[in-house]
Structure 1
Amino acid sequence: MLGIGIPELILILVIALVIFGPSKLPEIGAAIGKGIREFKKATSNIEESISNTDEDKE
């Protein structure tokens, strides 16, 4: 997908741990997860709307 391997992922997590500290990481992870879920829901709604519009034209 993005070409991120295990070493890069570990480096990113270590940098995040140093910057934000261990107490903030769960909050940040939850916020990122919620944002990704909302983005996926919005894109699926858009795709559904487009397919419904295409079906109406036929």
Structure 2
Amino acid sequence: MARDQKAKAKAEQAKGKIKETTGRAVGNERMTAEGRVEKAKGDARQAKEKTKDVFKG
């Protein structure tokens, strides 16, 4: 399960980064903001999983 969550975090980060970059390229502020939010969600999920790993080991 933890592997699934880590993969999901990486996917969210990548999707957010792509969306943010695309939004900047076309001048779409909303898309840029949505990308930042998705990337932040991925960062938060990754941090949560790392914290779990620390307490597991």
TM-score, normalised by the number of residues in structure 2: 0.53
- Which structure shows the higher helix fraction? 2
1:45 maps onto 2:45 in alignment: no
Query: Structure 2 CA distance, aligned partners of 1:35 and 1:28?
Result: 11
Is the CA contact (8 Å cut-off) linking 2:23 and 2:31 kept in structure 1?
A: no
Q: Deviations over 1:1-50 (max 9, x none)?
A: xxxxxxxxxxxx88751146222011100000010000000011011000
Q: Which has the larger radius of gyration?
A: 1
Question: How many equivalent pairs are there?
Answer: 38
- Between the two proteins, what is the percent identity of the paired residues? 11
TM-score, normalised by the number of residues in structure 1: 0.53
Query: Structure 1 CA distance, aligned partners of 2:24 and 2:30?
Result: 9
Give the number of the structure with larger relative contact order, counting CA–CA contacts within 8 Å between residues 6 or more apart.
2
Give me the CA root mean square deviation.
2.5
Query: Which ranges of 4 or more aligned residues in structure 1 deviate by more than 6 Å?
Result: none
Query: Structure 2 CA distance, aligned partners of 1:38 and 1:14?
Result: 21
**Structure 1: runs of 5+ lacking an equivalent:** 1-12, 51-58
**Structure 2: runs of 5+ lacking an equivalent:** 1-19
